Structures are given as C-alpha cells and as structure tokens.
Amino acid sequence: MVAEASPHLPPRPTSWDSADDVDIFYQIHQEVVKVQKFTPFSLEYLKNEFSVFLPDDQVSLFFGKYQGKIIASAFVIFWSNIGFYHHAALLPQYHKIPVSYLLLWEAIKEAKKRGCKLYDFWGYVNPKENPKHPWAGPTLFKMGFGGRSYEYLKTQDLPLSKKYFLTYLFEKLRKTKRGL
C-alpha cells in the first residue's frame, strides 16, 4: 500500500503484492544499513519470506511517498489474528518527514480490516534504561502509538549435540556484529 505524505492530499492506499516489490523495500533498507551499520537480511531471504506468506494473503508491503518519491516502507505479516510490524525502513535523508507515522497507521488499519486482534510492533528495549541501544529510537517511535510492552520468555536453545556450539558461536558473533 502507498500512503502519500502531503498536507493537501489524503492517504491513497494501493495494493503491493508482488515479490518483485520486495526489491523496492530492499533498496530503501540498504540506505538505512549504510547509515546504521547493521547486518541486514539478504534480498533472497526477504523475497523468500514474502513468497511464503503471499499465497495465503498474509503479507503486505506498505510504501510511503513524499513529493512523489517512495521514501519509507514497511513489511507486515498478518498471521493468527496478529499484525506483525516485521521490517521497516525510511530513507535517512527524510528522517524529519513524518511519513513513517502515516505508513504505520495504514498498516494498523489494514490489520484491523483483516480482523487482527493485536498489532505486534516486534522488538522493544526500554529507552530509559538503555538509551544507547540500537533499538531505543525505534522503540520510542513505536511507543508513540500507545499500547503496552510485553516481555515473553526469551528464546532458549537445548543443545542436542556438541556441534551445537558452532551455531552458538556463530549467533554470538552475529549478535555482536549487529550491536545487540
């Protein structure tokens, strides 16, 4: 869907439901990666993820335009009566344009239209306790929509063989590289 950020035009959503549209999301996302220096998911991964949820109409891409240019995008999964704000990106040079709020509001409205009972903003860190954490800024943005934070049991691994420790080391390195 596309939401226009203009003081004179109301939002005009349109459908984006092709795996090829993931390319547009990815281009915007890569600009964010350059500035924030984190390890992103690959284009192949994102296309595969999109393609898995597409046959059951459980995924949508939302795009935000400013002055006719797509500057923001959100990759939202709809599953089990929950809308998941799974991936998002805003071109860094437009960080002062509040198109992301409009974009996310369109995604929330779509979740409601689909009968979702919850909208999961996916990822939270307490910005007061961890103001330098990479997710502190995005968390403040998400908190602007209200709601509550829920902490679930963290993911746990049960090693079934000694080979597990190779995965453990890989995940530890990846976490360090992402600054988490």
pLDDT of residue 157: 81
pLDDT of residue 38: 78
pLDDT of residue 138: 77
Nearest 5°: the CA angle 11, 87, 21 is 65
Q: What is the pLDDT along the chain (180 residues), one digit of tens a residue?
A: 544 443 333 343 344 567 779 999 999 999 999 988 778 899 999 999 999 999 999 999 999 999 999 999 999 999 999 999 899 999 999 989 989 888 889 999 999 999 999 988 877 778 888 888 877 877 777 887 787 777 777 778 888 898 899 988 988 888 887 766
pLDDT of residue 151: 75
End-to-end, the C-alpha distance of the chain in Å comes to 31
Task: Go through the domains of the chain in sequence order and give each one's CATH number.
Answer: 2-155 (3.40.630.30)
β-strands 69-79, 59-66: how paired? antiparallel
